[in-house]
């Protein structure tokens, strides 16, 4: 989708028009007859967020109602959802371009509508012999946006697009080595430092978690470290972004039953998310020192696959009893977190991972399950930004009693607790490796990949969490006490 700035007069523009109608101030500019205005008011009265389409052969006028007096975060989310509906309506009438205007509409509302359109129009097309219809061109009245502001948003949305592409790709076409190579190329373009560790280097680092999970696979693992260090960074010590990169998860020898193995190409969504967040920050020159640590492998039951009862020695020397080989994500993340703490002394570690079914059972597909250790202030900021961009966080307790559930009789800890509190004990396992470093755990299992369309997210990879973390980093200065 191409978005350009150009004056859009609702009464004179030759093309399809979306008119954003937030309050009665807009009445004077509505290109409608008296009867049409009466009809519009009836629809608006019945549903403040209705969309009313008028046929203006050969074009169409879409009046998108919204309530400017609704709390801002809810209003902007409803506008994004209206944008999803407009995209569907344009495709239904076989139109691929539209102009956006309104009256009394603020820039944030216009950006929310554009964001909804961009996210809604995405589909994973590369294996289709016939490309589905898309909205090709959107014109926005420059009274709402400057080119620089639009460009910043476009760069962020481009990173969400590529995250979704990576997560949607099957492992046959994107394994650990291939993904690492793609990240290396992008990093070079953005002047981001990229270090790719191959299996030999990972062995020399003694990353027992990553190597253990990889033992069943013919494909070698990779460990990618991306560093973005702007000269004007507000933080001396970096924020470490750790992402789970299980390129495909069969469950290993604890092989997944029935349909649970479907969609497991998405088990690397955490790594794709964290790489995309760092690239978006670099794209838009955010003044925050970041390092992304991305362990990558698939989890297969072949060769000399690791097994329940094995004991792995992790990067930091912790011994881990393997209780379940399908609890592999936390093993590779643990090595990455320990490496971050030992080599970068970060002021904050945040991980993102499609980690547990327990997280999905806790909150469904409506938000991210999260926990924090010694990171109350940044966590509160993250929650605030989650509410603002509507990628919301549900905090679970992190009481000391949960540590008892991952104690092992034969090693320091075990990689899986009991069925109860499964999302929490997974977080507790990872927190062990953060040690005293402030730590936030984001379990994105319910939102990274949707089996069917959900609002402005098409079925498949969502990119959920990128807008959240990017907005957090935009406002990160408030955590610096400067």
- Residues that are catalytic: 256, 330
Burial class for 34, CB neighbours closer than 10 Å (0-12, 13-18, 19+) = exposed
Closest CA to 368 of 377, 380, 355: 355
Closest CA to 190 of 282, 277, 273, 287: 282
User: Residue 298: helix, strand or coil by DSSP?
Assistant: strand
Decide if 328 contacts 252 (C-beta within 8 A): yes
Intra-chain end-to-end CA distance of the chain, in Å: 40
- Kindly give, in sequence order, each residue whose CB lies less than 8 Å from that of residue 117, ignoring residues fewer than 6 positions away: 1, 83, 84, 86, 87, 135, 138
DSSP letter assigned to residue 126: T
- Kindly give, in sequence order, each residue whose CB lies less than 8 Å from that of residue 306, ignoring residues fewer than 6 positions away: 212, 213, 215, 216, 252, 253, 312, 322, 325
- Kindly give, in sequence order, each residue whose CB lies less than 8 Å from that of residue 457, ignoring residues fewer than 6 positions away: 119, 120, 450, 464
CA distance 304 to 125: 37
Omega prior to 194 cis, within 30 of 0: no
b/e burial code for range 366-394 (CB count within 10 A of at least 16 → b) = ebbbbbbbbbeebbebbbebbbbbbbbbb
User: Residue 17: helix, strand or coil by DSSP?
Assistant: strand
Encoded tokens for 302: 């072949």
b/e burial code for range 103-123 (CB count within 10 A of at least 16 → b) = bbbeeebbbbbbbbbbbbbbe
CA distance 32 to 10: 10
Neighbours of 282 (CB within 10 A): 23
CA distance 185 to 208: 28
């Amino acid at each position: 989708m191409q978005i350009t700035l150009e004056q859009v007069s609702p009464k004179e523009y030759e093309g399809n028009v979306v008119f954003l109608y937030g309050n009665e101030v807009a009445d004077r500019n509505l290109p409608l007859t008296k009867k049409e205005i009466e009809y519009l008011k009836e629809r608006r009265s019945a549903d403040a967020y209705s969309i009313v389409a008028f046929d203006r052969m050969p074009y169409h006028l879409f009046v998108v109602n919204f309530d400017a007096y609704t709390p801002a975060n809810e209003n902007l989310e409803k506008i994004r959802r209206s944008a999803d509906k407009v995209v569907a309506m344009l495709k239904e009438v076989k139109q691929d371009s539209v102009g956006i205007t309104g009256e009394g509409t603020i820039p944030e509302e216009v950006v929310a509508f554009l964001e909804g359109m961009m996210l809604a129009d995405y589909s994973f097309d590369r294996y289709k012999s016939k490309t589905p219809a898309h909205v090709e061109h959107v014109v926005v009245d420059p009274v709402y946006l400057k080119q620089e502001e639009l460009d910043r948003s476009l760069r962020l949305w481009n990173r969400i697009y590529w995250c979704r592409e990576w997560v949607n790709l099957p492992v046959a076409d994107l394994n650990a080595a291939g993904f690492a190579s793609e990240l290396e190329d992008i990093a070079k373009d953005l002047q981001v430092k990229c270090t790719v560790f191959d299996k030999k280097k990972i062995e020399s680092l003694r990353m027992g978690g990553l190597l253990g999970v990889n033992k069943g696979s013919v494909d070698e693992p990779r460990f990618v470290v991306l560093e973005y260090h702007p000269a004007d960074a507000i933080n001396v010590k970096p924020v470490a972004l750790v992402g789970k990169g299980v390129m495909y998860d069969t469950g290993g020898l604890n092989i997944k039953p029935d349909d649970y193995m479907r969609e497991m190409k998405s088990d690397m969504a955490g790594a794709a998310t964290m790489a995309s967040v760092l690239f978006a920050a670099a794209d838009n020159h955010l003044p925050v020192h970041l390092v992304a640590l991305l362990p990558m492998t698939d989890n297969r039951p072949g060769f000399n696959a690791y097994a329940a009862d094995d004991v792995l020695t992790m990067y930091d020397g912790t011994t881990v009893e393997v209780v379940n080989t399908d609890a592999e994500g936390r093993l590779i993340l643990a090595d990455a977190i320990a490496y971050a703490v030992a080599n970068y002394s970060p002021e904050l570690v945040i991980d993102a991972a499609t980690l547990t079914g327990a997280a999905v059972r806790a909150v469904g597909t409506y938000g991210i399950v999260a926990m924090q250790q010694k990171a109350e202030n940044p966590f509160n900021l993250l929650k605030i930004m989650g509410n603002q961009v509507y990628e919301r966080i549900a905090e679970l307790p992190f009481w000391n009693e949960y540590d008892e559930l991952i104690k092992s009789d034969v090693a320091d800890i075990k990689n899986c607790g009991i069925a109860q509190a499964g999302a929490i004990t997974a977080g507790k396992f990872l927190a062990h490796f953060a040690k005293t470093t402030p730590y936030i755990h984001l379990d994105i299992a319910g939102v990274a990949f949707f089996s069917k369309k959900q609002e402005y997210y098409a079925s498949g990879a969502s990119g959920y969490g990128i807008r959240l973390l990017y907005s957090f980093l935009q406002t990160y200065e408030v955590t610096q006490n400067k």
